[in-house]
C-alpha cells in the first residue's frame, strides 16, 4: 500500500509538467496550436520581428495589405488580435507609392512604440522610416510629421533595420543606404527631428 501511495504521489507531481508538454513543443495556449497566422489582406504578408511587452502582449512589425503597407500589429499573450490596438489588432500605413515595411521595434517606458523600416516611392527610391505610435496604435502626432520621421543618407536605397532608445529619449536607428550602400547610423531627437548621423 505504501508503494502504491508513493507512485500516486509521484504521478500527481508530474502531471503539470506532462500537461505543459516537452521542451521545444508548440505551446497550445498560443493560438490553439502554438501558431498564429497574421493575415493583413495582402498577396504576401511579412512579419519581420517581435517585441514582447511587460504585460505579455506581443507586437510585430512587417509589411502587408493590398498596398504592401508599413504594418505594426499586436496580439494578446494567447495570440488573439488585440482589439485595443487600432481597433482590430493591426495598424497599416501607406507611407509611399511603393513598398513600405517595418523591420524593427523599440518600446518606450511610457508604452509608445517606435517602428523602423523604409518607405519607397513609385520609382523604387527608398528612405528610412521611423514611426512612433501611441499605445493604442495611432500615430503619435508629436513625433516627426504626423508620427513619421524619415532618414536619407543619399542614393536610392535607405533602410532602417535596428532601433534603440537611449535613456535620454533619443532614438538611434541603424541600417544601410547612401550612394555607396554603406552602413548608416542616425540619431533622432525625442520629437523625431534629426540629431547626429554618421556612416561608414
Composition of the chain by helix, strand, coil, percent to 5: 10, 40, 50
Residue 149, all three cell numbers:
520621421
Contact between 159 and 98 under an 8 Å Cβ cutoff? The reply is: no
Contact between 114 and 165 under an 8 Å Cβ cutoff? The reply is: yes
Domain locations along the chain: 39-199
**Which residues, other chains included, contact 92 with Cβ-Cβ below 8 Å and sequence gap of 6+?**
40, 64, 65, 67, 69, 70, 71
State the residue for C-alpha cell 514611426: 131
- What does pTM read for this prediction? 0.85
Q: Which long-range contacts (CB under 8 A, 24 or more apart) does 131-139 make?
A: 131/70, 131/72, 131/93, 131/102, 132/192, 133/72, 133/91, 135/111, 136/84, 136/85, 136/86, 137/72, 137/74, 137/85, 137/86, 137/87, 137/90, 137/91, 138/86, 138/91, 139/93
Contact between 169 and 163 under an 8 Å Cβ cutoff? The reply is: no
Measuring CA to CA, which residue among 34, 97, 89, 30 is closest to residue 62? 89
Contact between 73 and 38 under an 8 Å Cβ cutoff? The reply is: yes
pLDDT confidence of residue 42: 80
pLDDT in tens, the chain (200 residues): 443 333 333 333 433 444 556 788 999 999 999 999 999 888 889 999 999 999 999 999 999 998 899 999 999 999 999 999 999 999 999 999 999 999 999 999 999 999 999 999 999 999 999 999 999 999 999 999 999 999 999 999 999 999 999 999 999 999 999 999 999 999 999 999 886 545 54
Residues in the chain: 200
Amino acid at each position: 500500500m505504501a508503494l502504491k501511495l508513493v507512485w500516486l504521489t509521484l504521478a500527481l507531481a508530474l502531471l503539470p509538467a506532462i500537461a505543459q508538454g516537452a521542451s521545444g513543443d508548440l505551446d497550445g495556449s498560443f493560438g490553439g496550436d502554438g501558431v498564429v497566422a497574421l493575415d493583413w489582406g495582402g498577396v504576401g504578408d511579412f512579419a519581420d520581428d517581435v517585441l514582447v511587452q511587460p504585460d505579455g502582449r506581443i507586437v510585430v512589425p512587417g509589411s502587408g495589405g493590398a498596398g504592401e503597407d508599413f504594418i505594426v500589429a499586436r496580439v494578446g499573450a494567447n495570440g488573439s488580435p488585440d482589439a485595443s490596438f487600432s481597433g482590430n489588432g493591426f495598424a497599416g500605413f501607406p507611407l509611399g507609392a511603393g513598398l513600405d515595411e517595418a523591420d524593427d521595434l523599440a518600446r518606450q517606458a511610457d508604452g509608445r512604440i517606435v517602428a523602423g523600416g523604409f518607405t519607397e516611392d513609385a520609382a523604387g527610391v527608398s528612405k528610412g522610416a521611423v514611426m512612433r505610435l501611441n499605445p493604442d496604435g495611432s500615430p503619435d502626432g508629436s513625433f516627426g510629421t504626423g508620427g513619421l520621421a524619415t532618414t536619407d543618407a543619399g542614393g536610392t536605397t535607405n533602410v532602417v533595420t535596428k532601433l534603440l532608445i537611449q535613456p535620454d529619449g533619443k532614438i538611434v536607428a541603424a541600417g544601410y543606404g547612401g550612394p555607396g550602400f554603406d552602413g548608416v547610423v542616425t540619431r533622432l531627437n525625442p520629437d523625431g527631428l534629426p540629431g547626429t548621423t554618421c556612416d561608414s
